Structure 1
Amino acid sequence: MAPETSTLSTAALPRERAPMTQLLWQGGTIIALLLLIAFFTIMRPGVFLSVGNVTNILSQVAILTIIAAAQTVVMVVGDFDLSVGTNATLSGAAAAALMIGGTPVPAAILAGLAVGTLVGAINGILVAYLKLSAFVATLATMTTVGGLAFIVTDGTTLYGMPEEFAWLGQGSMLGLPMPVVFAMLVALLIWVVLRFTTIGRRWYAVGGNAEVARLSGVSVRATRFLAFTVAGFFSAAGGIILVSRLSSASSSSANNYMMLAVAAVFLGMTILRSGQANIGGTLVGVGIIGVLNNGLNILGVNTYVQQVLTGVIIIAAVILSALKKRDA
């Protein structure tokens, strides 16, 4: 009987790892962020970690943080939203066009948020109620919304928003740029919702196993619909703050944020053994992207090389996330 017991014990060994291996496996993304910071600090001592550059990094990733947080919500329920970037663009452009046309700033901002929320709700209807593939549905929405943004801006760059609107993207509070303050508030809000509320637990339940969640009494369709709607709202907020920061709106101002948001969320998914999306991990992913882009800019690396590296990061993050899910 002893040999059989030994065989059973050995069969369980693949899930057991040495402490150092487990640390690298579980915290590799955080370690990568720290190594990047150390590398660029050594390459540009006195520059990379200067107060001015750190503030610059935070400002650069603030909008990405908001849009990546929106993507996180959708990916928690096991779906995907390709329209977060164009949604942010359209919402910002709509608010800008209204302000230029004489609409009061608060009303224009609310209208822009409503546009983004509506786009998110449409995504939710297509995916949750009409049961279309999230990839196909949001790809179609991304294309449609991108065309609407072009119509709203008439293919030009919009300027001339009221001066008080600039505070959202160019003001400061307690020494922090306002986009950073808004990013922190959004991240904190979503963390609280995911961690401590019923809807957050329902989102995770649906993302873990939709059928089990349904049998447990969770309305899967309503839960998925709400996730897309919330993502639309926060995408719009990011787009409006971006317009304020740039003092302009174009037909493609936030489009590139979609891929960066996806990269950030996938990087964050590697932190948890389950491979689930989570806001804390997303912030680490945003940090990696922000530090990498800023450091490469300081070193004078070509922009196209940066895009290649971002693509490599996405591939690595997806592979690691898949391996964690298989190992969980």
Structure 2
Amino acid sequence: MTSTDSLPAAPKHGFKLGFGLRDAGTLIGLLVIIGVFAALSPNFLTERNILNILQQSSINACVALGMTLVIISGGIDLSVGPTAAIAAVAAAALMVGGTPIVFAIPAAILFGMAAGAVNGALVAYGGLQPFIVTLGTLSLYRASALIYTGGNPIFGIPPAFRSLFNGDILGVPTPVVLVAILALMVWVVLNKTPLGEYFLAVGGNEEASHIAGVPVAMTKIAAYVISGGLASIAGLILVGRLGAADPTLGNLWELDAIAAAAIGGASLMGGKGSVV
């Protein structure tokens, strides 16, 4: 069997939007929480507070999008926080050194994607457990950021970069809009492309996927590359808000991202999950 028509059956997502019973339960729980806080405070449902909550959540949501793909494909990525840190440090160093913002941002994202590619290659070709690999690169990437900066934050971030992530679009904070667009893109990848089917198939049954002709190694690497890129974007958002790149940035982000993905319906055993 070599045709992708022979792929293992991917788990059903429910409706066309990928909305299932587990998602409905999570949504109901969220609505209950919102109702409780709205009853306790008259300011909770104000526009200002809702936008503030969304802005505060945008960074975790960005990291969780990539983590969701990794978990669906049967892996785990504990290095997302340090990946965000080295990308943020790289962007800050480039901008302080005179590199235009239009080049510094893509360079930092590519840096994070390269870090993800290292994770993916070690998992796919090294035969190592994702937990062990990313636990090791967690320390490696964090140490790299600390050594490069001497443990000190990088200041002098250009005002234009800060305004890019502190502005708003039609009254909605830019980070919220950006993460919404990224969520839509990840949803399209997962639900409308062969790569999305590969993620689900590899996470569900790696051996059967290999027999069916799925490029298992490249699928795993793709998941980690996307995770690294999204973690980098989250790091850039935080740098824009703080006005400095701290080498300790992103501490424990991996725990929040894993929790967000799991609560959102992604199975930690792989092969199941959605962006919705």
Same fold per superposition (TM over 0.5):
yes
Query: How far off is 1:135 after superposition?
Result: 0.2
User: Any idea what the Cα deviations from partners look like across 1:4-37, whole Å, max 9, x if unmatched?
Assistant: xxxxxxxxxxxxxxxxxxx987733222111110
**Is 2:257 the counterpart of 1:261?**
yes
TM-score between both structures, scaled by the size of structure 2? 0.88
The aligned counterpart of 1:133 is 129
Using a 3 Å threshold, how does the CA distance of structure 1 residues 275 and 225 change in structure 2: closer, same or farther? Answer: closer
The aligned counterpart of 1:158 is 154
The aligned counterpart of 2:30 is 33
SS at match of 1:244: helix
Bigger fraction of residues in helix:
1
Query: How far off is 1:275 after superposition?
Result: 7.7
Q: Which amino acid counterpart does residue 169 of structure 1 have in structure 2?
A: F
**Structure 2: gaps spanning 5 or more residues:** 1-19
* The one of 108, 115, 118 aligned to 1:119: 115
**Is 2:181 the counterpart of 1:185?**
yes
Structure-2 separation of matches of 1:159 and 1:87: 19
Structure-2 separation of matches of 1:218 and 1:279: 22
**Structure 1: gaps spanning 5 or more residues:** 1-22, 281-328
The aligned counterpart of 2:201 is 205
Q: Which amino acid counterpart does residue 114 of structure 2 have in structure 1?
A: L
Query: How far off is 1:111 after superposition?
Result: 1.8
Query: How far off is 1:263 after superposition?
Result: 0.5
Using a 3 Å threshold, how does the CA distance of structure 1 residues 218 and 100 change in structure 2: closer, same or farther? Answer: same
Equivalent residues of 1:100, 1:160 under 8 A apart: yes
Structure-1 separation of matches of 2:266 and 2:213: 30
The aligned counterpart of 1:67 is 63
User: Any idea what the Cα deviations from partners look like across 1:77-109, whole Å, max 9, x if unmatched?
Assistant: 010000011101110111012111222112211
Structure-2 separation of matches of 1:124 and 1:254: 20
Equivalent residues of 2:205, 2:271 under 8 A apart: no
Structure-2 separation of matches of 1:128 and 1:163: 41
Q: Which amino acid counterpart does residue 279 of structure 1 have in structure 2?
A: V
Taking only aligned residues, the RMSD between alpha carbons, in angstroms, comes to 1.8
TM-score between both structures, scaled by the size of structure 1? 0.74
Work out the number of aligned pairs and report it. Answer: 255
User: Any idea what the Cα deviations from partners look like across 1:246-301, whole Å, max 9, x if unmatched?
Assistant: 21111112223211111100101269xx9822211xxxxxxxxxxxxxxxxxxxxx
Structure-2 separation of matches of 1:48 and 1:59: 15
Query: How far off is 1:167 after superposition?
Result: 2.7
Structure-2 separation of matches of 1:39 and 1:161: 40
Which has the greater radius of gyration? Answer: 1
Q: Which amino acid counterpart does residue 246 of structure 1 have in structure 2?
A: L
Structure-1 separation of matches of 2:238 and 2:102: 16
For 1:88-107, list aligned pairs within 5 A.
Answer: 88-107=84-103
The structure whose RCO (Cα within 8 Å, separation 6+) is larger is 2
The aligned counterpart of 1:44 is 41
The aligned counterpart of 1:78 is 74
